[in-house]
Amino acid sequence: TLLVDTLTSLPNRRYFFRELERVVEEAKREKKEFAILFIDIKGFKFINDFYGHDAGDVVLQEVANRLKMSISGFLARIGADEFVVILKDLKKEDIEKFVNILIKNVEKPVKVDGNLIDFSLLVGVAVFPDDGKNKDEILQAADLALDSLKHNEENQRIAFFEMCLQ
């Protein structure tokens, strides 16, 4: 049970790091790519502050369920409103299309106590080995991509690490 997030029943941060290590070694051995998606619920603090933490929990559970139904890769909850996905069987050029579909599937209002709670997702993407040669580098790249969206005024929803460098 130490490897599962109690609220969402998803793998937790510790489980994710173990899995990432395994996937990195496998990718190096087989000379394959994989992508990491860092997913954040934009404005989640507002949901907790305005509707209360119980409503925030319901939103988190619903987002987790919707992500689970939309993703065949490894999905974990690694922070308050942060989810991470490891996608192994997706070509780099198909990632953006996949993420757009994911956003469409997940970003529907959640009904809590008669309130329809709207939210949006931000997704930072990094691809191994282009954006990082080990688990720390690839994580940092995905995190930087996500961070670039949090400070972006253009309402962009997806950022690739390589785009952050330009």
Catalytic positions: 81
8 A C-beta contact, residue 140 and residue 132: yes
Return the ∠ at Cα 43 (arms to 103 and 58), rounded to 5°.
75
DSSP single-letter state for residue 34: E
- Residue 40 CB contacts under 8 Å (≥ 6 apart), including other chains: 81, 82, 83, 121, 122, 123, 124, 146, 149, 150
Half-sphere exposure (Cβ direction) of 78: Cα atoms closer than 13 Å: 23
User: Which amino acid is residue 124, in one-letter code?
Assistant: G
How far, CA to CA in Å, does 87 sit from each of 23, 35, 71, 100, 126? 10, 5, 9, 15, 10
